Amino acid sequence: MKVSTWISGLAVAAVMAVSAPTTAQAGSESGNFMVRVGASAVLPDSKVTTSVNINGDVTDQFIPSATLTYFLSKNLAVELYCCFTQHSIELNGIGKVADTWIFPPTLTLQYHFDGMGPLKPYVGAGVTWMHFFKEKTSLGGTNNVEIDDAFGFALQAGVDISMGGGWYLNADVKKIFIETDATFRNGGATIATAKADIDPWIISAGVGYRFNLGDLFHRTSHEPLK
């Protein structure tokens, strides 16, 4: 799917999310829900080792991305990060041997610091799941590649900068620790296998809108977060 399609989809989702609450109440600096849209650089700190003793790595990618954050209290929140990204596996001296799309939702528990005026830094930790699909191989002698889905761990640090009215600028860095296995086949015969330690850095920037989730259901009264 083209990147422009994802940008359009994220834009529509953001407009729907921020327009619904404004019909009842403006955005809130202390709302219990935040939607962010922006762009991410996915930079694998990767190492690929194969059964044919040739090493390689996974390529970088720049993508549109989005997060949904629910505040459990003034300081604690859970965040879901989501995107779709396409990467290639390259081997030394050979070049590209596989392409794959990746769906890597990441769920983190965050601690948000307060008392710093418009600056609202946070740290987080959680889990990620990588689903690989539409894999293709260009390795000679193979006509199929399968990359296993995998679970991993995530660390996170970021900052929201308040612009007033519930609007924020955001910068965020995540480090994902994850590895997977790839199997190259010709028909039903296995030709080669590879282990990929992907371990990407995900560096994001974007804009966020914070509001009270109850406003979506026209519940304008709410208890302040503590």
pLDDT, tens digit (0-9, with 9 covering 90-100), for 147-199: 999 999 999 999 999 999 999 999 999 999 999 999 999 988 999 999 999 99
pLDDT at 8: 46
Section 31-60 average pLDDT: 94
In sequence order, the 6+-apart residues with CB closer than 8 A to the CB of 196 are: 46, 47, 48, 58, 89, 147, 179, 180, 181, 182
Q: Where are the domains of the chain?
A: 3-214
CATH number of 3-214: 2.40.160.20
Section 202-210 average pLDDT: 97
Residue with the bigger pLDDT between 199 and 222: it is: 199
Q: Is 3 helix (H, G, I), strand (E, B) or coil?
A: helix
Distance CA(194)–CA(100), nearest Å, equals: 14
Most confidently modeled range among 12-21, 23-32, 70-79, 209-218: 70-79
Summarize pLDDT for 61-115 with one digit per residue, the tens: 999 999 999 999 999 999 999 999 999 999 999 999 999 999 999 999 999 999 9
Please name every residue paired with 72 in a beta bridge, in sequence order, or none if there are none: none
Distance CA(130)–CA(196), nearest Å, equals: 13
Q: Is 6 helix (H, G, I), strand (E, B) or coil?
A: helix
pLDDT at 52: 85
Q: Is the pLDDT of residue 24 over 80?
A: no
Section 48-52 average pLDDT: 92
How does the average pLDDT of the chain come out, rounded? 87
